[in-house]
Amino acid sequence: MTQQQTTGGDVRLTGISKTYGSFTAVHPLDLTVPQGSFFALLGASGCGKTTTLRMIAGLEEATTGTVSLGGRDITALPPHRRPVNTVFQSYALFPHLDVTENVAFGLRRRGVTPVKKRVAEMLDLVQLGDFARRRPHQLSGGQQQRVAVARALINHPQVLLLDEPLGALDLSLRRRMQLELKRIQTEVGITFVHVTHDQEEAMTMADTVAVMNGGRVEQLGAPAELYENPRTTFVANFLGTSNLIEAEIVSAGTDVVVSVGGGTLRLPAGRCPAPAPPGGRLLVGVRPEKISLDPAADADPGDGRNRVTGRITEAGFLGVSTQYLVESPAGKALQVYEQNTGHRRSLAPGSEVVLHWDPAHTFALDAAQDMEAGVQSVQDTP
């Protein structure tokens, strides 16, 4: 209890790790989930998300470290004695019980009353009042998911753990349920720890996202903070898309000037990972939507913007935007997203173009990293 501070009901993981034989699924991890927050663990398959969640739930014994809740060490408590409930991907509803009895289950088991009133409140919360007498097989996926959430919340856990709870749903229902879950969380104010491999899901729902890779948390922060200021190539590529360009430092002051494929680019020193000595190497990054693109003939970006000339190799018209691939001395396949504002038609492959952007929208990463880390080769939204 010495370190309790004003933690209230924070979940605190201290040096928690899990090894299976010689394989380390989760490296020693320190993590605080503030009480009442919506916290997402985000990462690719096999990175240790479920294992971390199961250690919080007590379903998996930690190899090292401790789990505490509101300053109380719960590492040694069995799952049913922790004030924590889990919603699994396969909702695991009781098929022979109707919605009411599924939701009432936890109350009946613990002998808590009044059952009827509490179940009714819970069904209101998840907007299933009209479905109280249906069995799970008479419900859609999204409705079953809400029953699973209601069944867990009725126990008044301090923390609700959700392991890919939306994984079984199709994309549009998934998007709706994300908003729904977020609404429920805001309404009940309970801490949610949500595991997902879908970056859009994590960013839409969570106050704080921990990006996991290979059993470690690579970066943790608010979605916009992670997106705008990725600190590793994995985070830069896994959260959205980044253009990463190999660069050599020319000079360093308030701005750092780097040379890339013949030209130079500029960025604020504060967006570089460490002091940048001339001659050193960096990976310079810029998001595709931060780049403007103009036909080479009429391009005059001027005013200190970063500029790169190139040639369009692919143009994909998506309605709301056009996504271009541009071949340039700075990179063979720079990506540019141009919003369809109607100011001109999409440019065709083969067009000579100038890409330009605000130096402040440029970030830099340590060059001793794999540029391709975290790149999702196919649009792998399930």
Ligand X SMILES: Nc1ncnc2c1ncn2[C@@H]1O[C@H](COP(=O)(O)OP(=O)(O)OP(=O)(O)O)[C@@H](O)[C@H]1O
By the criterion CB under 6 A, which residues form the site for ligand X?
A: 20, 23, 25, 43, 45-51, 197
- Cis amide prior to 114 (ω within 30 degrees): yes
Residue 85 contact partner, candidates Mg ion, ligand X, none, CB within 5 to 8 A by sort of partner = none
Give the Cα separation of 96 and 94 in Å (integer): 6
* Closer residue to Mg ion (CB): 50 or 100: 50
- Smaller CB separation from ligand X, 215 or 331: 215
Cα first-last separation, the chain: 43
Least distance (Å) from Mg ion to the CB of residue 49?
5
Query: Of these partners, Mg ion, ligand X, none, which one is at the site of residue 136 (CB under 5 to 8 Å by kind)?
Result: none
* Residue 355 interaction partner, one of ligand X, Mg ion, none, beta carbon < 5-8 Å per kind: none
**Which residue lies nearer to ligand X by CB, 199 or 243?**
199
Reference 203, options 227, 229, 237; nearest CA is: 227
Closest separation in Å from C-beta 43 to ligand X: 6
Question: Taking the complex as a whole, how short is the minimal distance between the CB of residue 45 and Mg ion, in angstroms?
Answer: 7
* 222: Cβ contacts below 8 Å, ≥ 6 apart: 207, 208, 209
CB of 382 to Mg ion, least distance (A): 13
Residue 51's binding partner out of ligand X, Mg ion, none, with CB under 5 to 8 Å set by partner kind: ligand X
**Listed residue (214, 230, 233) closest to 222, CA to CA:** 230
CB-wise, 57 or 371, nearer to ligand X?
57
User: Is the Cβ of residue 84 or residue 123 nearer to ligand X in the bound state?
Assistant: 84
Q: Which stretch binds Mg ion (CB under 5 A): 42-50, 151-159, 314-322, 347-355?
A: 42-50
Nearest-angstrom CA–CA distance, 198 and 146: 20
Question: Is the C-alpha dihedral spanning 117, 122, 127, 129 positive or negative?
Answer: negative
CA distance 337 to 323: 5
- By CB under 5 A, how many residues form the interface with Mg ion? 1
51 lines the binding site for Mg ion (CB under 5 A): no
CB of 44: closest distance to ligand X in angstroms? Answer: 7
Q: Which is nearer to ligand X, 50 or 85 (CB)?
A: 50
Amino acid code (one letter) for 276: A
Quick one: what does residue 46 bind among ligand X, Mg ion, none, with the CB cut-off 5 to 8 Å set by partner type?
ligand X
d(CA 54, CA 13): 12
Closer of 50 and 144 to Mg ion (Cβ): 50
Positive or negative CA dihedral for 334, 337, 343, 344? Answer: positive
Q: Quickly count: other Cβ atoms within 10 Å of residue 116's Cβ.
A: 11
Nearer to ligand X, 214 or 268 (CB): 214
Strands 216-221 and 208-213, bridge-based pairing: antiparallel
- Shortest approach of ligand X to residue 259 CB, angstroms? 40
Token output for 148? 């699973």
50 binds Mg ion (CB under 5 A): yes
Q: Which does 14 bind (CB under 5 to 8 A by kind): ligand X, Mg ion, none?
A: none
- Residue 158 engages Mg ion in binding (rule: CB under 5 A): no
Separation CA 179–CA 135 (nearest Å): 25
Phi and psi of 270, rounded to 5°? -65, -15
The contact set with Mg ion (CB under 5 A) reads 50
